[in-house]
Chain A
């Protein structure tokens, strides 16, 4: 009897203790009202602004350090950031730099910092491949710098989009430890980074473009989707990336949250490598394109959150084909094409797809496989782990594979990686007309003439039905009402841009 009352008393005391514990206020984060907290799927990896090559890190570092140029999605052209203007002719690109720009430690930004930064990237950093066309960087005077390319290369300017400028003086002063002093010219100054926990910057009052509208930005890596969405709903974060489509309805109902959609630049395709005999015949490739009903897949598998692609470049990029129509769903035509090509009973093929890399990638691959089966093509869906899958793509192991790409403004790089003879083994595709157009557009510095050449190359590739063009996904950001911001097609939240503010 006595023992029973005693245990009940203890349990009651513990319960009261718990209640007091929870009543203690929840959001004690050191935030002024002009702070923005962003929850993303991945965090920063390296202290070195040149020691990575992923989009998340590029965007974050661009808050502290700056690039020479940036792309204006509204004006659809490159504009100067640290560079005031530039000219490009033959193998020489001459940049006139903005005067009066200061680093966070008060030192002046000059052409020497540009040379130092670009040389540092080229000499064995993870980003070196992006500047592979550069032969030399020459300082002409304090505010003029010349970049010499190995060959005349019209697309070069887009290569500089993510290359941030660091201070030569800081690196000379601190040597190896310089990366622990992230000093740049950007709108925000570095405050703190705890790996896996948070990356914090504060507003730069002396920024050359005027002080930012936000005092503090906190990035938090929350890879688990459930946790990221919950953090958005409780207000622990103000912006969440990658909202899954099935959550959109629920989040929209919450008056404190809105979902901001924007069409991604990344194009999803299915590659048909021409080392696989059936794919060597254009009729077979056309048949595959006609056999898939992409509109149904978008409607039922992706909840409508994707846009059919009609070309390799999206509406905001160079080489966009406004009038071209994608191949229509026509299973009867597919069957007759297959018969004409000598495969009346279809054929078997291995279809490799990643799992979880792109929204519903595995489900879409299975849907496509099901549709192909109806015309006799037995496509076996294989979903290896990402590193295995990607290495298979790069080394040319897969015959049919699901992939994303063409997420740069300038399609030149992807054209050469996938469609130029001999550059990589990915698609084993070769068309001398395409090669000629690609080579010519590289040397054409007149933007209008270049556009014509790009469209020619892309039209030829599409006429060859080299791949199945799928779509561009809707990128969905979850944003709390206090944040005023509209996303751009670039993957990432640019707090330093005009138009971003908090209530």
Chain B
């Protein structure tokens, strides 16, 4: 069963890489005219195109790419003169840290609010949390990011506006997630500094996710609370808290988890803009640079990473599902 799922991954990844490859090459503009000096004469452009292998037909270039990729070689970035794999390894931890932080903060905010709203249906709490969710869903996250930069970063000077950690606070990497590493190395100064840098990007990245999960939690809970077994639990004499959390929430978790899995992609994609706004050195900002300079190899590498991540995350969510709902089997 699992093997079938894993085999199904291959055509998806292949299809995505083919679409991206052809789209990038069909887009007008080429990396050579963008990376060579402005005043390079046309012969130099042609010569460099040949050197970089960009003069051959697109299907042939794709086959070359595929041949190398199967051996684990994703080529070299034209902008950065580094192997794509090395660049990915360098930048991925920053994006993972940002996405995990967003995810964690979002859950901490949205689930309690959603449960509260459902358990006090039609009260002040319910209505105000729905307004909050509506706001969160409609505000563009980069706008929120820039507003936070002006207000929290500029006017109140509470938080730094760029980077992951101040230069000079060195933390020897273990997991390459600066917050976790500084915790493990018991470097409190670095920990607080890293958390400060992480705060605004994580909040702005997670805003849509938070809004969505709040609403889903609330509606899932409302559905479950009407069920007969909840009445039974109350009649049995269980305290309200146990009823809500041990019985209602546990069952609502099924619907919530489905949505969580589907929406994780939103966080990954959102990182592209948020990383640029906050100068966060992850693969989102790397992708933007790569696309703008038509760095074909790098774009392929980053997109490949995104698709694999999305597929794996969905798979993990499905596995979690079997744990939450024993009736479901993968």
Contacts and interface: CB of A to CB of B under 8 A. Distances in A.
Interface of A: 3, 21-22, 24, 26-31, 39, 45-48, 51-53, 124, 126-130, 132, 179, 192, 194-198, 200, 218, 220-224, 226-231, 233-234, 236, 384-388, 390-392, 394, 405, 408, 413-414, 417, 423-424
A26 B162 contact: no
Given A222-B279, A387-B27, 8 more contacts: A26-B160, A30-B167, A200-B167, A220-B279, A226-B150, A387-B30, A388-B28, A394-B42
A180 B57 CA distance: 35
B278 A227 contact: yes
Given A28-B193, A53-B35, A391-B30, A223 B44 contact: no
19 contacts: A3-B241, A22-B158, A30-B168, A124-B51, A132-B44, A195-B80, A195-B90, A196-B280, A196-B281, A197-B164, A224-B146, A226-B150, A230-B150, A231-B162, A387-B29, A387-B34, A387-B294, A390-B29, A417-B39
Contacts of A234: 153-154, 157, 160-161
Given A385-B29, A388-B27, A29 B279 contact: no
Given A30-B168, A220-B279, A387 B80 contact: no
B223 interface: no
A384 B193 CA distance: 41
Q: Sorted from nearest, which 10 A-B pairs have the closest CB atoms?
A: A30-B168, A387-B29, A196-B281, A129-B40, A230-B154, A53-B37, A129-B44, A227-B161, A413-B39, A46-B81
Contact of A29 (B167, B277, B294): B167
Interface string B45-85: 10000010000000000000000000000000001111000
Contact of A423 (B38, B41, B193): B41
Chain B interface residue bracket vs A: 35 or more
B180 interface: no
B160 to A, nearest CB: 6
Contacts of A223: 276, 279
B153 A391 contact: no
Nearest to B151: A230
Contacts, number: 164
Given A28-B166, A29-B166, A230-B161, A224 B41 contact: no
Interface string B81-108: 1100000001100000000000000000
B163 interface: yes
B169 interface: yes
Contacts of A30: 166-169
Contacts of B294: 387
B164 A129 contact: no
Residue from A39, A200, A224, A414 whose CB has the most chain B CB atoms within 10 Å: A224
Contact of A227 (B35, B37, B162): B162
B91 A196 contact: yes
Nearest to A236: B160
B324 interface: no
A39 B149 CA distance: 15
Contacts of B81: 45-48, 51, 179
A233 B292 contact: no
Contacts of A405: 38
A197 B281 contact: yes
A255 to B, nearest CB: 16
B29 A194 contact: no
